[in-house]
Each structure stands twice: as structure tokens, then as C-alpha cells.
Structure 1
Amino acid sequence: MGLAVAALWAAAPAPARTLDAIKASGSIGLCAHPNSLPYASKTEELPGFQIELGRALAKELGVSLTPEWVVIAYQIPRTTCDLVLDMIVDRTAPPDFGFKLSNPYYRNGVTLAVPRGSTVGAFHDLSASTKVGVQTGSIAAMKLDQRRIPISIFGTDEDMLAALAASEVDAAAVTSLTAQYFNHAHPGNGVTILPLDESEPDLVWDVAVGMRRPDDKLRDAVNAAIDHLRGSGTIAQIYARYGIVLHDPK
């Protein structure tokens, strides 16, 4: 739900609420997927880091959290949710897409997952003899295809990682978060996750809270909450429950 969400909100504005209105209602709305761990889930025992962070943010604001479940980003304009988490910070985008981003709270990106013991240490190590799993239509797919690196197309990161674990591909271009959660969920069948490659700027990005056309008071309150939750270690602790170690934003 990154850049696609930005475009949708620009094209189809939905009602926005001020901080005072949110406080008066006693609840803040968060758009999230009902079955997309580690991000979010309707399952209370393992709600996902978006739901846990959303609850922590809501508590900082003095309200409760109300999840609004969406399966695809196209549904978001028809919701009344106030927040979307894990939004990509695109510094090249025009400044007003109808929503604002908070201060970034971690850095993510597409990296390579490889079998344990692999000699591949970065994207530049890939060759014509290396078959790489990629998501259809992704930037990674385009860049590797331009380099004539053999690619195998998958629908999701999870499918790629399963194929990698089954030795069907030699590497997988996946997000760092998804790969870390895969290792957490499959401790006996994990993969090696390479560091984010800052020499590939199209494949790394900062992540922030998206706020639907907030007033200044809401934006300031969310920024203060994010900064406090980062500084206290709360955000790191939430993600750690899903086996994820966060990278600091740039």
C-alpha cells in the first residue's frame, strides 16, 4: 500500500478528520489487510505489526484504534480510515497528493534472499547463471531483465521464498521485512538475507505513516507519537515480535 495509495487518494478524495474530531469520537481508523502477516491480521493472537503499532499510536493520541479492513488499495478511497501504515516516502513525488506523511520510522527495500552458503553477496554478483525470483511488474524485475539476468515471475514474496527454500530459484528479490518474517516463521528452513543495497536507490526507501489530509494538529501529534515510540524502543519491540530488525531511516 505504498505509492499506489498516494495516487488513489489524489484521484478520489475521501472525508478527512481533524485531531479534535478524532478525539471527540474516541477512535482513530487504520486501513489494513485482514490476512497479510506480518503486516496485519484479524487474528487477535497475532494481529500483525501494523495493528500493534496502530494501537500504540492511538494510545499516544488518547483514543482507541478501529481497523478498517481492505484487501486491495483500490478500496481505500471508499473507507473513512484516517491512517495507513508502512507508506513509502517518495521524495520525488509532488508535495500534495491529498495526504501527508509523518516523520519516517524505518527503512525498507527490496533485497536478495539466497540459500545459506551462497556466494551471492549483492545484486552486482548476479550473473547469467543465476535464476532470480521476482514479483511480476516490479522494479527489480525490470532492472534484472535489463541486465539479462534470468528471472522467474511470482505473485508474492511468500511464493518466492518458498521456491527459494525448495531450490527452485537461486535467489529471490524480496522485501527485507517479508524475508525476516519468513525466517522467523520457518526457523528450520530459513534463508540468508543480504543487507539493503544502497547502491540501488530505486530499491530502498524510508517508511512513514500516511495521514488522510490531516490538519496541522493531527500531523504534529502523529509526528510526536512516532518520534516518542521510536525513541522509547516501542516500535523496535513490536517488529521484533515478528522476527524483524528495523533499519534506521535516512
Structure 2
Amino acid sequence: MWQKIRCWFEKAEWPFWIGFLFFVVVVVSCVQLTSSAQQWLLDSSQLPVRYLEVEGNTQYVEDADVQLALNELMQKSFYALDVNEAQQKVEHLDWVYWAAIRKEWPATIKVNLVEQRPLVFWNGDFILNHQGQVFQADTSRLVYSLPALFGPEGEELKALQLFTDYSELLSLYGLKAKEMTMSERYAVHLTLSNDIKLNLGRENGIARIKRFLEFYPALIEQHQVEYVDLRYDTGFAVGEQIMQSETAG
């Protein structure tokens, strides 16, 4: 086989060799051109990132936070900047729930943000968002006060759902819950914004709150209520602030 190939090369005439040489020159030139273009694209002085635009309805995240998170990446060229890496850095910011990043030729990076929606404090040190997910953030940026929830680790979603259901019912009567504690056995204690405490127990929380609301106007008119124990099949017990006595309802 090799002898046939050798014979073929020996019989090839000069036009073939000129064409072959031309082909080699073209290939080498293309490789050099591609390498030069690649180097140019990676050179931040030739193709810098000049602009950063932050989009989204933000209350807690400032443009300066995003700028600081992306500062190192923005030292690279527009071509070299990795949008996936940039997205990860932005999503690590305290108040960012989700981020999408895209490049806009020739020198702009656009960041679209969705912020965390804080609903309640969780076990003192954390916050729960609208999905019942735990996160930590700079609470000094909160624009309104949050209720406080306490409960077993891993039961965040259940605790939030109970608190939401109870809060919606109370709001129909102009009342708000400011704190809820759920024990490991799911017994619930609720504190209203007027500091009245409700002991709901483990079951039938909605029905027990409805019973309390039915008698609420009379209770606050007749008593200095400190707490109401609703764990009875019928009626309830009331603890008063001044006398610290209990009366059956």
C-alpha cells in the first residue's frame, strides 16, 4: 500500500504541488487568524464591559450590591464574561430570590432580579419567603415589620400555612397575629397584635378561632383579657391581666 502511495506522489505534477502548498498556506492562515481573533475577544481593553443595567421591581436589593457582586467578572472582556457564573454571584446576594443575566452587544450586561418576598421571621434568626423557604438577610432593609413564627426544623411550610390560614380568618374581624409557636406535637399558641394569647392546641384550630371571634366583642368589653384557652370541646377559659383569674366561657 505504501509503495502505491509513494508512486502516486512521484507521478504527481507541479500543478498539484502548487495547489497543495496553497491549501497548507490557507489552513495555517486561518488558524493564525482564529487565534488572533480569540485573543482580541478575550482582551478586556479591546472589548470591555462598560454598562451594567439592573431591572426588576426592587425594595431590598440596591444597584450597588449587584455592581459589587459582579465587579471582578466585569474586569473581563464582554466576550469572556460567563453569564452563568454571574447569575450565581447575583443569586448569592441576601435579598435575591432569582436572577437572569444576559449580554447586550457590544458592552452592556443586563440583570433582571426577582427579590425574596419575606413573610415571617422563623425561629428568631431566619426569614421565610412566600414558598416557605428559609433564608437569611440584612433585616435593617425591611420596609415593614414581620410576624414571628417558632417551630420544629423541617416544619416551616406547615407552620407558615397554619399561620396564613389563621391570619386570614382573624383579618376578617380586624385582628392581626404577631406571633405563633408550634410545638413538635403541633400544638399552637397564637399571640395577637393586642397581646391577647390564644391557646389553640393541636386540632381544629380554625373552628376554635371562630368560637373565639364569636365572643370576642363581649370578652374585651367585660374582661382585661390576657389569654384565652380554646382547647375545650365547648366553651373556653379566659385569663385576665389584672386579677389573673380564670372564668369559664
- Which category describes the TM-score, using the shorter chain as reference length? under 0.3
Structure with the greater alpha carbon radius of gyration: 2
The TM-score normalised by the length of structure 1 is 0.19
| TM-score normalized by the length of structure 2 | 0.19
Larger relative contact order, structure 1 or 2 (CA cutoff 8 Å, min sep 6): 1
